[in-house]
Structure 1
Amino acid sequence: MKTVELTIMVAYLLFLVILGLITQQRIAKSNTSIDDYYVAGRNIGTGVNSLAMLAALGSGGSFMAGVGTIWSLGFPFLAWMTVGSIVGFSIASILVAKPLRNSRKFTVSEFINDRYGGTFFKVAIPLVIIIGSAMYLMSQMRAGGLIASYVTGFSYEWGLVIITLVFIFYVSLGGMLAVTWTNILQGFMMIFLILSIVIAGIYHLPVGWPSFLMEATVANPALGVVGATVPVAAYIGAFITWATAVCVTPHLVMRIFTAQNARSAKLSLNISMLIFGLLMLGATLVVVPYVATLEAAALQNYAPDMWLLLIANEFFGPIFMGIITAGIMAAVMSSTDALLLAVSSAFAYDLYKGFFSPEASHKQVLRASVIFTWVVGIAVMLLTLNPPPFLIVLYTAAVGFMVSALFSPLVLGIWWKRSTRKGAVWSLLVGGVSFMILFLGFSMPYNSEILIALPLSLVTMFIISSLGKQPSQEVIRKMDEYHREGTITL
């Protein structure tokens, strides 16, 4: 057991639980409790939201597992994925930020249903979000379990159980308000974490950096070779997945709904994109070559997703390692809490209130949200007891599924007035179902399923909408309102 590291991490987790209790009291006393719970009152400033978006994207996969994934799958794979993420923020700021924020909706499901109408989307979209977010959650809970195991000395299974219960507890208490407050701290901690490790890595370089990088490629000849570890199709699939992900991934889109106005939402997306890109660049170029300096026994005894901790342990003493461990846990929690909230809102607000019980009160919706947070959290925890390898590959597949199903109905629904409800229904079905068939039924390169599923979804939308009846003038007028500057602000 690493006593100092464990003490610091426990103190950090207790702080989050206390914060959840405080926000629960505030929500209980508020006249706009459902706004506070799901969209943090729609009053989050640009700087705060930028940090929160960075925290939501900067998950256990990108910051913790990135080093091991690059060493195993090569620089080109993560390069395409990271560039896709950076491009994705810019695309989202152009395509969806203003319409979504101006709509004053709570969720992606509510927005799409407002665009097309009918009962199909009230059921289908929450199911897509619940399935996709649950897959994403598996990767984050695995990362949390690995960290808890590292500092406690317990088995991975017990580490997973302990950390999952903490995650669920504080999210179920305070909702998006608690998530936003903690994401501010988590965003700062992630920046501090990566900068500290990068600076320490530069300070401890045994030789000049170019020579050190060359030595790493000698130790692992496939490290920088395109197509050496996975086919090029996997690179392209990872790029397209993340270039389109920010537009539809619920736990990222929810940050748009929390912004003060549309302009603030756009700025937050671009600022967080810039910070994320710089952090990933530094971590990739400076830290990854240190894997070659680790002992073979350590590499065999620890999963690749843990190698960043092993490298950091070479640089820092117990106290600073406690802070580093808490920082990595912050990266894991920042995505986990947002994902848990996205799943609970999909069930309680979109499915329960939107379909089964439209007359449900705010209290009933919040109660359903809390209950489902616990149900889905524990269910995903049980699945994560035996997870697949490589966190990044797993959560990219989860995002690819959601993009394949939701990108066409959402983005074309915003920008193409000819989009019809029937086209959107079939687009969602074709995209989502084809992705899952390819993912589960065929042995394809990592993350390449989207190269087939997303085009099928887009083509389906164009063909069926073109053959159908044009949407009513009321729908067109409503969408025009969402595009206007300053339509709805606070």
Structure 2
Amino acid sequence: MSISTPMLVTFIVYILGMVLIGFIAYRSTKSFDDYILGGRSLGSVVTALSAGASDMSGWLLMGLPGAIFLSGISESWIAIGLIIGAWLNWRIVAGRLRVQTEHHDNALTLPDFFSSRFEDNSKLLRVISAVVILIFFTIYCASGVVAGARLFESTFGMDYQTALWAGAAATILYTLVGGFLAVSWTDTVQASLMIFALILTPVIVIVAVGGLDESMAVIKAKSLENLDMLKGLNFVAVISLLGWGLGYFGQPHILARFMAADSHHTIRTARRIGMIWMILCLAGAVAVGFFGIAYFQNHPEHAANVSQNGERVFIELARILFNPWIAGILLSAILAAVMSTLSCQLLVCSSALTEDLYKGFLRKNASQKELVWVGRLMVLLIALIAISLAANPENRVLGLVSYAWAGFGAAFGPVVLFGVCWKRMTRNGALAGMVVGALTVLLWKSYGYTDLYEIIPGFAFASIAIVVFSLLGRGPSEAAQQRFAAAEAEYQSK
């Protein structure tokens, strides 16, 4: 495939813009608090769009449209589950977590919060939660690298190994330099680009096919099952797809956005902005895959690449239907989705290694400057490991994401949910919930007891473990209960 000069120029300008934002943020990064949480200074718009962009990743423009394109509208149960889960996360967890982390030693990371909230002097909670973050986020980061590689491979005809490095390089650079502020500011730009691409593309696809009625007729003619919400699905399959929504309560890169808001009052406006953005983006992604069926049915001569890999459907539609300059902007949206999520994940991994392991165990009195530079080195280390994991060209974005999503959802979701809502929860309950959730996902995934998505049994068993182990032992100290009550009172204040 020949390299399109307009596309190449668009990509280069976009990438240079993101890196420039990274260097601007570098000048505002004075301490490790700034590097990890941006000094808790995010307003409602940046909080909302940063949470959305960091959440969706390349899955939004590749994995979901690809699943719809191959299997029809029945795959949209995932989107429905995600919308429900995201709204509940914003409604129940976001504001409470913002306040609780400040009341518990101004916690900068989830392991920090767990350690302080549950008075874990043994530091076992800190270590186990940091290890869970490193295991599942490295897999998650690999999914972002794969998505970026697929983009560069399809757009510029690169071989997969070269595309791996090309796709990851810019993200690593601006995350390395600018930290949380760079990630959040670039997320805002990237979220705007993603929604533009996902609204415009399906509209042009429908027009290219001949209108909405004609598009629907072509899809029905190919197979009526494409319009069947229950195509090939039984009760377990539907519950599994909806179960993706449970994952939101435990995703460290999304929870970090809540912790970084300038106050819990910001969260309400951010929730409205974030949910509107999310619903429009998911609807657009579903429409791209769905109406892509009609386009490639009418134009089989263009279908070779999507027949090989359905996750390329958005890439191929953008490349075929748009002027190369516009196509470059639209394909930059995939890069935006990949970069926004990958950068957040790299930063959370870096914070786990730096704040929770390096400072927690090796250098308790390390200076702020030293911690920032160690954090940058950790970003680089995790990125290199993720690239090595992504080296297999047979990797699929959705498969990698589903594993990591389930791991975090089950290991951290119940601990976070109970931790901000139930004052009677104890350190042993948190520890049991985390271990049971993570192990259930690993074992369920490895041995495949049923087709039920592993996040559901993981979340359920972890919740039971939290309640049982919290009630069996001695309750939290008076001081811990007072801190919890003070935080909850602040959250309830107008």
Kept after mapping to 2: 8 A contact 1:126/1:346: yes
Deviation at 1:56, TM superposition (A): 1.3
Gap runs ≥5 in structure 1? none
- CA distance in 1 between partners of 2:238 and 2:399 (Å): 11
1:180 match: 184
CA distance in 1 between counterparts of 2:83 and 2:394 reads 26
1:160 pairs with one of 143, 161, 164: 164
Matched, 1:43 2:41: yes
Which of residues 393, 397, 401 is equivalent to 2:403?
397
Residues 1:449 and 2:454 are matched in the alignment: yes
Q: C-alpha separation between the residues in 2 aligned to 1:397 and 1:232?
A: 21
Q: Which runs of 5+ in 2 are unaligned?
A: none
Residue in structure 2 matched with residue 419 of structure 1 by the alignment? 425
Deviations 1:184-220 (A, max 9, x none): 111111121112213312432324x244224224424
Question: Would you say how many aligned residue pairs link Structure 1 and Structure 2?
Answer: 481
The alpha carbon displacement at 1:72 in A equals 2.3
The separation in 2 between residues aligned to 1:374 and 1:26, in whole angstroms, is 21
Partner of 1:197: 201
Aligned residue among 424, 440, 452 for 1:434: 440
Is residue 12 from structure 1 mapped to residue 14 from structure 2 by the alignment? yes
SS in 2 for 1:204: helix
**Which residue number corresponds to residue 219 of structure 1?**
222
Rounded to whole Å, the distance in 2 between the matches of 1:444 and 1:388 is 25
Task: Look up the equivalent residue of 2:52 and give its one-letter code.
Answer: L
Q: Could you tell me how far 1:124 is from its partner in structure 2?
A: 0.5
Letter aligned with residue 164 of structure 1: A
Whether the aligned pair in 1 keeps the contact of 2:205 and 2:291 (CA below 8 Å) is: no
What do the CA deviations read for 1:265-305 (whole angstroms, capped 9, x no partner)?
A: 23313321222112222342365222343226524664211
Instruction: For 1:268 and 1:204, locate their aligned partners in 2 and report how far apart those are by CA, in whole Å.
Output: 36
1:468 matched to 2:473? The reply is yes
1:76 corresponds, among 71, 74, 80, to 74
Q: After TM superposition, list the pairs within 5 Å mapping 1:267-286 onto structure 2.
A: 267-285=269-287
Tell me whether 214-223 or 477-486 shows the greater mean CA deviation: 214-223
The 2-side partners of 1:487 and 1:224 are apart by 45
Secondary structure, in 3 states, of the residue corresponding to 2:475?
coil
1:374: which partner in 2?
380
**Aligned to 2:155, which of 151, 156, 160?**
151
Q: TM-score, normalised by structure 2?
A: 0.91
Q: Shift of residue 152 of structure 1?
A: 2.2
| Conservation of the 8 A alpha-carbon contact between 1:74 and 1:229 | no
Q: Deviations over 1:312-349 (max 9, x none)?
A: 22321111111111122111111111111111111111
Counterpart-to-counterpart distance in 2, 1:260 and 1:388 = 42
Aligned counterparts of 1:379 and 1:221: Cα–Cα separation in 2: 44
User: 1:334 aligned to 2:355?
Assistant: no
Q: How do 1:133-148 and structure 2 match up within 5 A? A: 133-148=137-152
Residue 134 and residue 58 in structure 1: after superposition, are their counterparts in 2 closer, same or farther (change >3 A)?
same
Distance 2:19 2:269 in 1: 30
User: Does the CA-based 8 Å contact 1:201-1:287 persist in structure 2?
Assistant: no
Q: Which amino acid aligns with 1:477?
A: Q
In 2, distance between residues paired with 1:109 and 1:274? Answer: 31
Partner of 1:96: 93
Given that residues 139 and 389 in structure 2 are in contact (C-alpha distance below 8 angstroms), is that contact kept between their aligned partners in structure 1? no
Q: Aligned partners of 1:109 and 1:180: how far apart in 2?
A: 21
**Cα distance in 1 between the residues matched to 2:14 and 2:118:** 44
Give the C-alpha shift of residue 455 in structure 1: 1.2
**Distance in 2 separating the partners of 1:5 and 1:286:** 20
Q: Write the distance in 2 (CA, Å) between the matches of 1:15 and 1:58.
A: 21
* Contact 1:388-1:394 at 8 Å conserved across structures: no
Q: Could you tell me how far 1:487 is from its partner in structure 2?
A: 8.9
